[in-house]
Homo-oligomer: A and B are copies of this chain.
Amino acid sequence: MLRIVALAHDGTLHKDISLDDLSGNKYRWYWVDFENPTQNESALLSTFFHFHPLAIEDCLLYIQRPKLDHYEDYTFFVFHALNPETSVVKEIDCFLGKNFIVTFHFESLMYLDKVNKKIESGALNTPLLIFHAILDEAVDLYFPIIYSMEDRLNDAEDNTKGLSTTALMDEVFDIRSDLLRLRRTIYPMRDLVYRIINSSRIPDFQEYHGYFSDIYDHLLRLSEIVEDSRELTADIRDSYISLNAFHGNQIMIKLTILSTIFLPLTFIVGVYGMNFVHMPELKWKYGYLFVWIIMLTIGIGIPLYFKKKGWFNDKIE
């Protein structure tokens, strides 16, 4: 589907016009948006607009890295929007000329409606400003995604949801790999906007330098959050690993103390359970009492000994 908006020389805004109306010099500028185009529509990139084959190939093929290529009469951009629900990447391709902008994408992009409304309100009156608005909206939509990631991370840090350790480790691993995926969009977008800011070949750019710097600020902040969050996930994981290992040892200590107490006691009662005919102790009057005294000495003495050695301490010297 193609959507066309064009500004006539008399300053009026025209919609619902056809591609053919655009040829000739009738309009001050126009915006053509290819949304999920058919093969016939895609062919117009070449037959009507005469864009460079390499740029058209980048439009038609599988998801590209965000990038910028200068051609003689226009600049070609690839950038990434993110689906706010699934955080899946959506590629938007964009041809920006002095008096036109052409956008191309296979998935529908809600937020372009917001850009349309701004055009109708008269706030965006050059192709460069429309381009800026599209890029700006795309990057603004990264924030809810990255903030929800930070929320998940904060939940994980204090385990506010009371997850089991296995579930928590799973969640931390998930956050890490989601951050990795986001990074693959945010870093190249940041580098792209940096190149836009430092490019001298985009028409009328100097006037709007500050507007793109503003987007760059956002991407810089986003990439710092991604980087710091990945470090924090590593810290959470390492902290759990060391706590877990420590708990393991504490339990082992308890098991050892228990065994140390009962192994000799069980041996002693075993001794006097033997059936030798000649076992003098068995016939002693206070034999049984005597054995109990020995056993109580062991059963009380060993824990006291361990206590003195600091084994019940929850410290590592």
Q: Is chain A's binding surface mostly helix, strand, loop or mixed?
A: helix
Interface size of A by Cβ–Cβ distance < 8 Å?
Answer: 91
Q: Is the CB of B262 within 8 A of A272?
A: no
> CB distance A251 to B245 under 8 Å?
no
Q: Judging by beta carbons under 8 Å apart, are B243 and A169 in contact?
A: yes
A160 beta carbon closer than 8 Å to chain B: no
Contact A316 B221 (CB under 8 A): no
Q: List 16 A-B contacts (CB under 8 A).
A: A64-B217, A165-B314, A169-B239, A173-B235, A173-B236, A188-B224, A237-B239, A244-B316, A255-B255, A258-B260, A265-B270, A266-B267, A270-B273, A273-B273, A273-B275, A276-B281
Given contacts A184-B224, A241-B241, A274-B275, 15 further A-B contacts (CB under 8 A): A69-B210, A71-B210, A157-B177, A159-B315, A169-B239, A170-B239, A176-B235, A177-B235, A244-B246, A245-B248, A248-B249, A251-B253, A251-B256, A256-B258, A265-B267
Residues of A at the B interface (CB closer than 8 Å) are 52, 54, 57-58, 64-65, 67, 69, 71, 157, 159, 162-166, 169-170, 173, 176-177, 180, 183-184, 188, 210-211, 213-214, 217, 220-221, 224, 228, 231-232, 235-249, 251-256, 258-267, 269-279, 281-288, 291, 314-317
